[in-house]
Amino acid sequence: MATFETGPDDAFGAAPITGREGKSPILLSVVMVVDRWVEQIPQIVGAIGAEVFEAVADYELILVDNGSDAGANAMYRAITGPAGLPNVQVYRLLRQVDYEAAAWAGAENSLGDYVLVIDPFSESLEPLRRALDEMLGNQLDLVLLVNKAPRRESLPVRSLRTAYLALFDWMSGVNLQVEAAQYRLMSKRVVSYLLQQPRPALRYRALPATAGFARKVITYSAPRRPHPAASFTRDVRRALRILLGNSTAPARIASILSLAGAALNIVYSIYVVVLALTRSDLQPGWITLSLQQSGMFFLFSLLAFVMTEYMVDTIKGRRSGSSYFVTQEWSSAMLTRRERLNVETGSQVHRDGERVRTGTNG
């Protein structure tokens, strides 16, 4: 049984919006990345479809095959056939990609008003109704669902994970336990924003850290199941992709080290000059060789600093998409320009002392 806890993103409770039979009146797209669990698709997808059916008026289940073998084709034909599961859409990728890229492939091709990305092994659908109530009641764009249940991992792996999360938080100020949550409910506005980006899969990975979207974090606790594709090396690769793909901190550290190396070479050159002026027992040629080496390393460090700064600027340029994206818009209920218009809807307009009745089209 899952326990829930609301995040601190807003101070107002959501008023549940439900339609017929207590279901949310929306079309929900549920995206799942299939990675080495093709044989379990009928059971897992069937159970998820049954739960989603009880929560929303209409839905679609999107399966993104991420590098399964050729034998999976028969399974996909079976579940999408006349005797298969309803509302299932399958997309098979040409080659295996990282989880976020595969999840974005499903979200990009979704038709729903809202998109739910879920890993059926690590997450649970029990907080779905709560998330939908928050999304619809508070008009949110993004709801993150964080499972607080402990992972089944060894002590060294847990220690490395904790150290990495602390390091990333220190370098970029981002809490990956929340910001990199794979379980997320998105509105169509968020999908439209990502479609305008030059590299939407990269932007999708760090989507929660994007300012401007109205969002909420819901924490819950539900038991996790062992994932067939889980491995330590896979987690390490994902950690490096998140670090290098969403933060310029590593490049900034290299830039600072280059500048520090240039400064140390200047200090060393001053030290050599001071020795040359104060001591007479130095070996012949040592002063010239030392100044030559310090000068060369100073130039190399300066060159590395300039190149790193250009690289940081290039990375920022590649990540920037359109110059702006409007997330929400409000307009005053009283606009003085409307008084000068000759078109009114279902009302009367007095013009030059003459009463003119206007309809829908004026």
- Choice among 182-186, 301-305, 329-333 with the minimum mean pLDDT: 329-333
- Which of 199, 223, 245 marks a domain boundary? 245
Same domain (yes/no): 96, 138: yes
Confidence band for 359, pLDDT divided at 50, 70 and 90: very low
Same domain (yes/no): 222, 314: no
How high is the pLDDT of residue 234?
65
How high is the pLDDT of residue 198?
78
How high is the pLDDT of residue 277?
87
111-168 pLDDT tens trace: 889 999 998 887 888 889 999 999 998 889 999 888 887 777 677 777 777 777 777 6
Same domain (yes/no): 275, 154: no
Q: What is the β-pairing status of strands 142-147 and 88-92? A: unpaired
How many domains is the chain partitioned into structurally?
Answer: 3
Question: b or e along 295-331 (b: 16 or more beta carbons within 10 Å of the residue's beta carbon)?
Answer: eebbeebeebbeebbeebeeeeeebebeeebeeeeee
Whether 304 is in a domain gets the answer yes
CA neighbor of 62 nearest in space, from 24, 133, 118, 113: 118
For residue 243 the two structure tokens come to 């670090």
- Which of 201, 229, 245 marks a domain boundary? 245
How high is the pLDDT of residue 72?
80
The verdict on pTM exceeding 0.75 is no
Judge whether 165 and 176 are in contact, CB under 8 Å: yes
Identify the residue with better confidence: 13 or 228: 228
Strand residue runs (E) in the chain: 3-6, 24-34, 56-65, 88-92, 114-117, 142-147, 184-187, 215-221, 348-351, 354-357
Same domain (yes/no): 79, 211: yes
- Which of 194, 211, 245 marks a domain boundary? 245
Whether 325 is in a domain gets the answer no
Same domain (yes/no): 128, 273: no
Q: How far is Cα of residue 261 from the mean position of the Cα atoms in its chain? A: 36
152-174 pLDDT tens trace: 767 777 777 777 777 766 766 66
How high is the pLDDT of residue 318?
59
Please give the residue range of the domain that contains residue 55: 3-245
> Could you tell me the CATH number of the domain that includes residue 137?
3.90.550.10
Kindly state the average pLDDT of the residues 273-290: 86
Whether 232 is in a domain gets the answer yes
Whether 108 is in a domain gets the answer yes
Same domain (yes/no): 156, 212: yes
Same domain (yes/no): 104, 124: yes
Whether 326 is in a domain gets the answer no
Same domain (yes/no): 91, 123: yes
Whether 118 is in a domain gets the answer yes
Position 206 pLDDT exceeds 80? no
Contacts of 16 (CB under 8 A, 6+ apart): 133, 136, 137
Q: How far is Cα of residue 240 from the mean position of the Cα atoms in its chain? A: 15
Same domain (yes/no): 78, 24: yes
Whether 324 is in a domain gets the answer no
Written as one letter, the residue type at 186 is M
Same domain (yes/no): 114, 217: yes
CA neighbor of 26 nearest in space, from 63, 62, 64, 53: 53
CA neighbor of 249 nearest in space, from 322, 312, 340, 339: 312
Whether 16 is in a domain gets the answer yes
Work out the number of other CB atoms within 10 angstroms of the CB of residue 92.
Answer: 15
Same domain (yes/no): 339, 215: no
CA neighbor of 179 nearest in space, from 206, 141, 215, 149: 206
Same domain (yes/no): 114, 194: yes
